[in-house]
Structure 1
């Protein structure tokens, strides 16, 4: 079963479905089916953004010197913690993809 949580945003609010029993709920009233999150959505995503920026810095500044760096991860919303990097069947979820273009592709401006 899942619960509904309302996250406030700079321009309104958004209701998100989360797993039942997640910490941090503040029920609007006893009859309500929607709980209010303790954080704004933008603030929750800011911490995840910081993690993505850190991963990009590591791979952009490395001796590998890739032409492209792609960081992929899932985000889970939690009423108390906000946005967190989602766990997969393994322990964590970060996929890093590095790409190098051939010299011909670089010269052609692709």
Structure 2
């Protein structure tokens, strides 16, 4: 039986030497207990490195949408989920879509 009151935490180093602690969903990843019911792991990559990968993926989506459809506005909606092993990943936000894309074309007055 799993302990639903335990919290899994991952410490991500920042490029400036500080760190940020993120609550993650890693119950089956074998996190090391620090004390009490909370569990802490050290991430393999820095927080900044993880966000740069997400930024690069976002740029790729935007570049593709701009060249194929030429909308006046593009809005991307997605969540970022942190995991001790994988780092930052684009989280599932709906039944099937991980990235929601909204595009707007404005009509020019005649």
- Which category describes the TM-score, using the shorter chain as reference length? 0.7 to 0.9
Would you say 1:59 and 2:78 are equivalent positions? Answer: no
- The equivalent residue for 1:107 is none
Mean alpha-carbon deviation: is it higher for 87-96 or for 40-49?
87-96
Q: Superposition RMSD on alpha carbons, in Å?
A: 2.3
Normalised by the length of structure 1, the TM-score is 0.76
Tell me the CA shift for residue 59 of structure 1: 0.8
Aligned partners of 2:70, 2:96: CA distance in 1, in Å? Answer: 28
Separation in structure 2 between the aligned mates of residue 65 and residue 15 of structure 1, nearest angstrom: 40
Distance 1:40 1:99 in 2: 36
TM-score, with normalisation over the residues of structure 2?
A: 0.76
Look up the match of 1:8.
13
Q: CA deviation at 1:102?
A: 3.1
Which runs of no fewer than 5 residues in structure 2 stay unpaired?
A: none
Unpaired runs of 5+ residues, structure 1, are 105-110
Task: Look up the SS of the partner of 1:21 in the other structure.
Answer: coil
Cα offset, 1:92, TM superposition: 3.5
Corresponding residue pairs, total: 101
